[in-house]
A and B are shown apart, each in its own frame.
Chain A
Amino acid sequence: MEILKIDKVVKRFHKKTAVNGISFEIKKGSIFGLLGPNGAGKTTLIRIITSILNADDGAIYFNGEKLNEFHPGKIGYMPEERGLYKKMKVGEQLLYLTQLKGLSHNEAKSSIVAWMKKFEMKDWWNKKIEELSKGMQQKVQFICTVAHNPKLIILDEPFTGLDPVNTELIRNEILQLRKDGATIIFSTHRMEQVEEICEDIVLINEGKVILEGNVEKIKDDFKESKYHIEFYNQVDETELEGLEIVSFDGRDLVFKTIKESSSNDILKFFIDKNINIKSFAEVLPSLNDIFIKLVTK
């Protein structure tokens, strides 16, 4: 069952069409990548999902219901441009923002306290945001996104500005939240992060969907029969006749096969020539390669 269904959504600003008839669905309990270069329309689409903007055309369904005023309370949104009241204390600020999502004072408080305990920041309740380091502020920002137990969490470039420790921490929390039943939309232009944690993606460019589906499947679709082999000893280039060489330095070879052939066929090719193989792998295209290829097409 899908938690979110985007149906032919259109949004125009004066003369520019930022979102031009986008449709896709997001499965409940998945981690979904919303990808696209800067200016593709990602943020506009997210703002429509979070009810900040109204679509000019099309519709959005949340849990099968057309988006209404009660849904924003079930969505947690961390914008790319982070922001908190600098002069306000951590506890008060989280209470305020969580209550705005519709929780009562007590519900909000117990949830915030639990999260602060988890992030080892129990003593920060009375600290002002401006007294915190960047990394600490990011944690507060994350709690503010999830403290109201949203069913759908939208993270716009969540790892920007995070150090490796915090990146790992937030990554684990995202995975945990999914386990607990939340759905996560992950908007970014950083492909390597998406490959690691997303199952499904949609790639948008200039306001339109140009690719969507399961990450593994997409990679498989875009593979080019490319292989990477390392040898133990120096190999003479004359022995590699019949291969389309991408790069070669005597011991390290990347090539494409000309005819359709299996891994076994390829290994046999080298074994027959009595060449010692140190490692062998099929090279799958990275999402980054696919992304660049599609976007610059």
Chain B
Amino acid sequence: MNKLWLIIKREYLVRVRKKSFLIVTILAPLAFATITFGMGFLSTYLVRNSTKKILVKDESGIFKRYHKQNSGYVYTFTDGELENLKQEYSVQGYDMLAHIPVYNDNSGDLKVKYYSPKKPGLTILGKIESDIGRAFKEYKIKKSNIDRKILDMLSVKVSLENAEAIDNAGDKTGKISLIISTALAFVMGFLLYMVIFIFGTQVMRSVMEEKINRIVEIIISSVKPFQLMLGKVIGVGAVGLTQLFIWIIFIPVILFLASVFFGHVPQNEGMLGMQSQVNPEDLKQFPINMIIHEFFSLNWSLILPAFILFFLGGYFMYSSLFAAVGTAIGDDQGESQSLIWPITVPVVFAMIIMFNSIENPDSQLAVFGSIFPLFSPIVMPARLPFDPPVWQLVLSLVLLIMTCILFIWISAKIYRSGILMYGKKLTMKDMIKMTFGKN
């Protein structure tokens, strides 16, 4: 036990004392803030301001009469010969030439032909389609003599609100609670994904380092290989937890400071808009104090301990596999690639399921993903803010712990044999032999 403690202490201190640890720990939340600000900025200003100049030959005359010049796309109309225009439009500085054919009321669907030197993006095409469509709709409304007021009356804006939340805390909070849960689900799922990869590879590299510089033989003449592996995994995991706690303290501070400076929470704009399909416009309606209130009224007494348990389970399960892979390579670090993929594939799968389950926290896929032990450390935390049934939580944890123990056992076997094999890259077959063969 004393020796295990020595190993944990060394692995921990060596990492925490590094300058890079300090830099990453401080810079990561800043980078996080910068990226979210940046994405918000990009999506708000840059994309909106990228104007396209489009030359239109409108033989119907309808678009020319009814279009509104406000979409950021500049439409210039021309009566020139199509053949000539095709030659000249790009020389004249237009991004695209659109040809609207003659249209009469019996024509049905409208097929507009476009010419463009480069492939235009789908958004651009969609935008132009809707601009033309709106002009034609306007034309038809006029033509059919429909009263605008009646038309406006026909459309009813529907929004779903959580009845309990409304009863408890007044209006609008149901929706904001959902938005916050979604954001939190995303952050927790993504955090675990990062933890598994970043700290898993750290364990692997540390094992490789000891093997490559041969010190491992000296160490395992003093301690058991299993102690060394376990000490390493725990030590690196403790570094991860330290970083996590610093961030848990840091990120709210940054959010708070940002809210003081900017009056609302611009961070969430980019993040939510980009990654979790929540309309950032929705969030702007809510004052900051309501968001903070909702944030703290989540079921933290369940979320936090469960999150830490999944963090530990996922970390131990995957990092022990990474440790085994670390022993399997020879002296060339590049060789690890082909052995890493069996670990990478489930993690990436879990990530995909996690995204899916944020949109749909009670779907069969989400339930499966949050119980199947290879995926659960990433998927279940993303379901936590949506109050998953307790039996699922318990089943998931039990399976995770069992798998975790199994994987540590397998990894220890591979580790013990692999660590002393120099100058030879192990294959999958060798590793299976090590697992099931005798030492």
Contact = CB atoms under 8 A, between A and B. Distances in A.
A295 to B, nearest CB: 24
Interface stretch (B23-31, B126-134, B214-222): B214-222
Interface in A177-214: none
Interface stretch (A74-82, A113-121, A261-269): A74-82
Nearest to B3: A100
B110 interface: no
A96 interface: yes
A213 B98 CA distance: 100
Interface stretch (A47-55, A166-174, A286-294): A47-55
B415 to A, nearest CB: 13
A210 to B, nearest CB: 26
Interface residues of A, number: 28
B35 interface: no
Interface of B is mostly: helix
B172 interface: no
B218 A77 contact: yes
Contact of B222 (A53, A88, A101): A101
B219 A100 contact: yes
B439 interface: yes
A19 to B, nearest CB: 14
A235 to B, nearest CB: 55
Contacts of A52: 217, 220-221, 420
B422 interface: yes
A187 to B, nearest CB: 13
Contacts of A81: 214, 217, 422
B420 A47 contact: yes
A50 B439 CA distance: 16
A52 B3 CA distance: 16
B213 interface: yes
Interface string B18-45: 0000000000000000000000000000
Nearest to A44: B420
Given A47-B420, A54-B439, A101-B222, A96 B10 contact: yes
Interface string B406-439: 0000000000000010100000000001000101
A78 B222 CA distance: 12
Given A73-B222, A82-B214, A84-B215, A100 B420 contact: no
A47 B3 CA distance: 20
Contacts of A96: 6, 10
Nearest to A79: B217
Interface string B61-85: 0000000000000000000000000
Nearest to A46: B221
A88 B3 contact: no
Nearest to A88: B14
B222 A97 contact: yes
B223 interface: yes
A50 B221 contact: yes
Contacts of A84: 213, 215
Interface residues of B, number: 23
Given A84-B213, A85-B215, A100-B3, A75 B14 contact: no
Contacts of B6: 96, 99-100
Contacts of A87: 14
A85 B213 contact: yes
A51 B439 contact: no
A144 interface: yes
Interface in B208-244: 209-210, 213-223
Most B CB atoms within 10 A — which of A52, A86, A97, A99? A52
B222 A83 contact: no
Given A52-B420, A54-B439, A88-B14, A100 B222 contact: yes
Interface in A82-138: 82-88, 96-97, 99-102
B245 to A, nearest CB: 26
Contacts of A78: 218
A21 interface: no
B213 A79 contact: no
Most A CB atoms within 10 A — which of B3, B10, B222, B422? B222
A96 B13 CA distance: 12
Contacts of B219: 97, 100
Contacts of B222: 72-73, 97, 100-102
A92 to B, nearest CB: 8
A261 B217 CA distance: 53
B311 to A, nearest CB: 28
A75 B215 CA distance: 16
Contacts of B3: 100, 102
Given A54-B439, A96-B6, A99-B6, A83 B214 contact: yes
Contacts of A72: 221-222
Nearest to A49: B221
Contacts of A100: 3, 6-7, 219, 222-223
Contacts of B215: 83-85
Nearest to B214: A83
Nearest to B437: A14
Contacts of B223: 100
Contacts of B221: 50-52, 72, 75, 77, 79
Contacts of B7: 100
Given A52-B220, A79-B214, 4 more contacts: A77-B221, A85-B215, A86-B213, A88-B14
Interface of B: 3, 6-7, 10, 14, 209-210, 213-223, 420, 422, 433, 437, 439
Q: Which 5 A-B pairs have the closest CB atoms?
A: A83-B214, A83-B215, A81-B214, A100-B222, A50-B221
